[in-house]
Chain A
Amino acid sequence: MEAAHDHNHDHHEPTGIMRYVTTTNHKDIGSMYLWFSFMMFLVGGVMALVIRAELFQPGLQVVEPEFFNQMTTLHGLIMVFGAIMPAFVGFANWQIPMMIGAPDMAFPRMNNWSFWLLPPAGILLMGSLLAPGGAGGVGWTMYAPLTIQQGMGMDMMIFAIHILGMSSIMGSINIITTILNMRAPGMTMMKMPLFVWTWLITAYLLVASMPVLAGAVTMTLTDRHFGTHFFNAAGGGDPVLYQHIFWFFGHPEVYIIAIPAFGVISEVIPTFSRKPLFGYASMVYATGSIAILSFLVWAHHMYTVGMPVEAQLYYMFATMLIAIPTGVKVFNWVATMWKGSMSFETPMLFAQGFLFLFTIGGFTGIVLAVTPIDIQLHDTYYVVAHFHYVMVAGALFAAFAGVYYWLPKWIGKMYDERLGKIHFWLSLTFFNVTFFVQHFLGLAGMPRRIPDYALQFADWNMVSSIGAFGFGLSQVFFLYVLLKAIRSGEKAPEMPWEGATTLEWTHLPTPAPYHSFETPPDLRS
């Protein structure tokens, strides 16, 4: 097994911690991204449990309302920017060069920098809890004018977002350049694995939308300290403008999280159905259409700000339009499985979980797209349930599917199939216990982001909190499954999944050598 590792090249390389500080290897950086995101996932998860503990019963028992607000804010920011996004960048780093036959990313040094910007941002975010007045308690959307009134924790949050934004933009530039310029001969655009396609599109979304968020938080910063009045009505500014700028970033951001998840699922489902992906070209075009539409629908997050009815109608119809390419994708996944010889190992189970639950999240999304219904449900738990169905059961389940799928390739060892399946069933059950009932709470009118609630919401909140603690523990169990595989997993066969067809499985040994495809494979034939 050791022979598979090509150590000849690293004799002069630093070892220990310095190896990781100075590394420019896409595999090392990918692993760091994945571990970092998993750590942040646990931190964000603990914050979610603080929220759910407070909401276990009506009344205020566990934390102060100010701290509760800081928890909802940091939970959102850490899960979006610290956990889900870096996790998929980690996948991109590991997989894209191996899937297109490139030796490494296009700018390895910038890649190292992209990663190492993340820990300082994470420290700033969490350190803001210790600032006088605590972290910003403004919600992850950081709406003005509330942001103007916060303590210095808010400034730390703004700087953290600047740093995270820089990291994402550099990462995306790297990914786009790698995909466009470094494909092996014969790997034409329309032969690329769908995971690579989805990341190419995601990276463009990131380059176009992250700078807008950077602009929005910079305006908030100058409003706070330098006497500008972008969002301050007293000086002729407009708080609603902030919402427009934020959601111009925020809606593409939703797809930045979802589209790489689509990519992972589009690799896992064909492998375990032992059939090529149904409708490859339509998949590519659907993803592209979703990306373009994502820039044109942002105001559906703010139906209640008092827009003219024409604008509301436009945003309503444009939003519903997104259901078409998304429907194409779901159809194609189902059609891929149709008459396939399916088997249900853990990655496939998570992909099935994704398919069911993400589709439910998509349906509640269509419900919320309807302006009159959304005005009723705005800022209720229905919205919370909706976006956790697409973010957790969507993006997170896809990430789990990806980890179980590629783990043998990464470490050369198998995870324990029985434990993996237990992890899946625990996650699936507790996820639904936590979030399905939040639909009921939202429809009954329970507002989000408030530490207390009226008595009639008590029962479902208790159920939801029990589910949340179960879900949290299931993820600690995932850590155990992972560590067990790394320490004492069985040696993985050269080809653990008989249906896999992408380059990393067909052209590279298992585990993948430290330096792969130093001479690109020739795929012209």
Chain B
Amino acid sequence: MKAANLDNQNKTLLRKLVVVALVMFAFGYAMVPLYKKICEVTGVYDLIKPDEIVNTQIDKSRTVVMEFDANTRSQVGWELVPVEVRMNVHPGELVHATFRLTNPTDTIFDAQAIPSYGPQHAAQYVKKLECFCFTQQKINAHETRDFSVVFVIDPSLPIDVGTVTLSYTMFEIEGTRSTVDSTVEVGFRAFKS
């Protein structure tokens, strides 16, 4: 009687602990959306949203060197380069920068650019109004296209930062690749039906 009772108690505890383990496994996955949300709320993860600009006064007394850099990450032979490698800008001034994408191949695909900054903490002072990195871009075969970024350097940029590097890595989105011929065929089939 007592042994059976203990057996039941043990089984109840076993079930509870298995539930704890399963909940913690789920928690690992719950950290994915949680992390995104926390980053959005705290403003760390604002890669795909335009910034709001409060102060538009231009600080003519100060010049910041902006350097631009771009890389691509894909097996297809396409490239992204900054049109201007270096610019002198004043904090508060509206800056247009251009990046040129060249796709000499037959491949069509979607791509997404992800920015990074040097020094890292300069990221929060580069306020972007418009950026090709806010959305995924459809890249056509044999296409050359200019992408633009419009931004303002926040005048509160720490005084010891004289040079800011803005670098884009453009990634090919997996599973979006097709070649010219197959799209023609798809178009043809669509036409027939």
Check if B10 sits within 8 Å of A306, measured CB to CB: no
Instruction: Give B77-135 interface residues, CB cut-off 8 Å to A.
Output: 112, 114, 120-121
Q: Does A16 contact B (CB under 8 A)?
A: no
Flag A214-241 by CB within 8 Å of B: 1 or 0 each.
1110010000000101100111101001
Question: Which of A175-183, A327-335, A472-480 is near enough to bind chain B?
Answer: A175-183
Bound complex: CA A411 to CA B112 (Å): 65
Given contacts A212-B27, A236-B112, are A207 and B10 in contact (CB under 8 A)? no
Q: How large is the interface on A (under 10, 10 to 19, 20 to 34, 35 or more residues)?
A: 35 or more
Q: Does B180 contact A (CB under 8 A)?
A: no
Bound complex: CA A107 to CA B28 (Å): 27
Q: Which residues of A contact B114 (CB under 8 A)?
A: 233-234
Check if A181 sits within 8 Å of B13, measured CB to CB: yes
Pick the contact of B6: A181, A210, A230, A233 (CB < 8 A): A181
Instruction: Give, as a whole number of angstroms, the nearest-CB distance from B94 to chain A.
Output: 27
Q: Does A515 contact B (CB under 8 A)?
A: no
Instruction: Give, as a whole number of angstroms, the nearest-CB distance from B124 to chain A.
Output: 9
Check if A214 sits within 8 Å of B25, measured CB to CB: yes
Q: Does A244 contact B (CB under 8 A)?
A: yes
Q: Is the interface of B mostly helix, strand, loop or mixed?
A: helix
Check if B24 sits within 8 Å of A181, measured CB to CB: no
Check if A214 sits within 8 Å of B174, measured CB to CB: no
Q: Which residues of A contact B28 (CB under 8 A)?
A: 211-216, 219, 245, 248
Bound complex: CA A230 to CA B26 (Å): 14
Given contacts A107-B10, A177-B10, are A234 and B73 in contact (CB under 8 A)? yes
Please tell me the number of chain B residues within 8 Å of chain A, measured between CB atoms. Answer: 33
Check if B174 sits within 8 Å of A230, measured CB to CB: no
Check if B22 sits within 8 Å of A211, measured CB to CB: yes
Flag A96-118 by CB within 8 Å of B: 1 or 0 each.
00000000001100000000000
Q: Max chain B CB contacts within 10 Å: which of A182, A207, A211? A: A211
Check if A215 sits within 8 Å of B14, measured CB to CB: no
Instruction: Give, as a whole number of angstroms, the nearest-CB distance from B47 to chain A.
Output: 9
Check if A177 sits within 8 Å of B174, measured CB to CB: no
Bound complex: CA A236 to CA B120 (Å): 20
Q: Does B31 contact A (CB under 8 A)?
A: yes
Given contacts A241-B31, A244-B31, A244-B35, are A173 and B172 in contact (CB under 8 A)? no
Q: Does A308 contact B (CB under 8 A)?
A: yes
Q: Does A209 contact B (CB under 8 A)?
A: yes
Q: Does A4 contact B (CB under 8 A)?
A: no
Flag A173-193 by CB within 8 Å of B: 1 or 0 each.
100110011100000000000
Check if B35 sits within 8 Å of A234, measured CB to CB: no
Given contacts A248-B31, A306-B120, are A235 and B21 in contact (CB under 8 A)? no
Given contacts A241-B35, A306-B120, A306-B121, are A234 and B172 in contact (CB under 8 A)? yes
Q: Max chain A CB contacts within 10 Å: which of B6, B28, B174? A: B28
Q: Max chain B CB contacts within 10 Å: which of A176, A177, A207? A: A177
Bound complex: CA A56 to CA B180 (Å): 56
Q: Which residues of A contact B27 (CB under 8 A)?
A: 211-212, 215
Residue of chain B at shortest CB distance from A304: B120
Q: Does B57 contact A (CB under 8 A)?
A: no
Check if A173 sits within 8 Å of B174, measured CB to CB: no
Q: Does B165 contact A (CB under 8 A)?
A: no
Bound complex: CA A245 to CA B26 (Å): 12
Instruction: Give B1-33 interface residues, CB cut-off 8 Å to A.
Output: 6, 9-10, 13-14, 17-18, 20-22, 24-29, 31-32
Q: Which residues of B contact A146 (CB under 8 A)?
A: none
Check if A235 sits within 8 Å of B24, measured CB to CB: no
Instruction: Give, as a whole number of angstroms, the nearest-CB distance from A216 to chain B.
Output: 6
Q: Which residues of B contact A308 (CB under 8 A)?
A: 42, 44
Check if A211 sits within 8 Å of B24, measured CB to CB: yes
Residue of chain B at shortest CB distance from A217: B28
Bound complex: CA A181 to CA B26 (Å): 28
Check if A173 sits within 8 Å of B14, measured CB to CB: yes
Flag A298-330 by CB within 8 Å of B: 1 or 0 each.
000000001010000000000000000000000
Given contacts A180-B13, A181-B13, A244-B35, are A212 and B24 in contact (CB under 8 A)? yes
Bound complex: CA A212 to CA B22 (Å): 9
Bound complex: CA A342 to CA B17 (Å): 42
Pick the contact of A211: B25, B73, B172 (CB < 8 A): B25
Nearest 9 Cβ contacts at the A-B interface: A215-B28, A234-B171, A211-B25, A211-B24, A212-B28, A173-B17, A106-B10, A177-B13, A306-B120
Beyond A227-B174, A234-B73, A241-B31, 5 additional pairs, beta carbon < 8 A: A106-B13, A106-B14, A211-B28, A215-B25, A227-B175
Taking beta carbons and an 8 Å cutoff, which residues of A are in contact with B?
Answer: 106-107, 169, 172-173, 176-177, 180-182, 207-216, 219, 227, 229-230, 233-236, 238, 241, 244-245, 248, 306, 308
Q: List 9 A-B contacts (CB under 8 A).
A: A106-B13, A173-B17, A176-B13, A181-B10, A207-B24, A212-B28, A214-B28, A215-B25, A227-B175
